[in-house]
Homo-oligomer: A and B are copies of this chain.
Amino acid sequence: MSEAVSRPTLEAVAARAGVSRATVSRVVNGGDGVREPLVERVRRAVEELGYVPNQAARSLVTKRHDAVAVVIAEPETRVFADPFFALQLRGISKELTAHDNQLVLLLTEGRDDHARVGRYLAGGHVDGALVFSLHLDDALPALIQGAGVPTVFGGRPGWSGGQGGAAYVDSDNRGGAREAVRHLVGLGRGRVAHIAGALDQTSAVDRLDGYRDVMGDADPRLIAEGDFTPAGGERAMRALLDRCPDLDAVFAANDLMASGALRVLRERGRRVPDDVAVIGFDDMLPVAEQTDPPLTTIRQDIEEMGRLMARLLLRRLRRRPDETEADSAAGVVLSTTLVRRASA
């Protein structure tokens, strides 16, 4: 608060109503034990002065802010460039709004800013946090644990030890990847390549594992790491074509990378799906419908993931003291479905 702003104080309300500070405080915080005529006098004084209770003070009493932080462990440039985050936020926003909780999105320029995010979380400004797009070597989980706010993660947390039983919501990344690769094999393809996501994220690792579940000891040159962006998909596709010109199918770990792969295949004169069948992951619209040809993919319900994260957190926050951590912790895993379009 700047010095220039002056707001009516609790003291001013007390003086106006002719009661003590403690009485005003009790009335303002909805407490009992104040006689009705006094309540009425305080209410009138609050109204006349336009008094706004200082929630920093009030929250020391009520310990609730009706606000939930959302932390996306990516620079803000990626948050706005990748529609995945907008979809997840939409689900979160709907659920929080339905329970009159404020969505507080903490944006950063990059990982260097995560300590500041930790400080904000520890600062008593929110009741809990929803955290997604974690990378394995990120300090955020430790910072969040230090902050002591109840948290639900989007995606299976990858660190071991520490946060035993961390609550999270995830898609069945490994099962979905298996279905994608089985679909390509079912089309008679034998040289199936994989464009993996950033392998410091569990979603990328799980999808790679699903690919390996089906392909067994495939030629390791058939695997290239992308970074979940269209440009990363382009780079990986070029590398794959250079070292394995005989590949006849590609499973990309998300639709944005698949869209980049399709551009490179066209550029190199490969027909899709005739020469090379391509399948993505996400069913991100409109991307998956607007590629040339439209993209066959594995659908995950991203908005629903966001909604469930928020629901799980609000349930934790409402938990009675006699309920234990185990009642509401642990992971929720959503199933995926194959969506067939033209590319495979």
Given A80-B80, A125-B56, A147-B52, does the pair A2, B317 have CB atoms closer than 8 Å? yes
Given A89-B76, A103-B106, A107-B103, does the pair A319, B2 have CB atoms closer than 8 Å? yes
**Bound-complex Cα distance A127 to B120 (A):** 12
A51-78 interface bits toward B, Cβ cutoff 8 Å, 1 = contact, 0 = none: 0111111111001011100000000110
* Tally of this chain's copies: 2
The interface residues of chain B lying within 8 Å CB-to-CB of A67 are 120, 125
Q: Tell whether A316 is near chain B: CB-to-CB under 8 Å.
A: yes
| Count of residues in A whose CB is under 8 Å from the partner chain | 64
> How close is A159's CB to chain B, nearest CB, in angstroms?
18
The interface residues of chain B lying within 8 Å CB-to-CB of A319 are 2-4
Complex contact B119–A325 (CB within 8 A): no
Complex contact A124–B1 (CB within 8 A): yes
Q: Which residue of B lies closest to A50 (CB)?
A: B146
> How close is A318's CB to chain B, nearest CB, in angstroms?
9
Stretch in contact with the other chain, from A18-26, A109-117, A176-184: A109-117
**Bound-complex Cα distance A344 to B119 (A):** 52
**Bound-complex Cα distance A118 to B80 (A):** 25
Closest 8 CB pairs of A and B: A55-B123, A56-B124, A80-B86, A105-B105, A125-B125, A3-B321, A97-B109, A7-B148
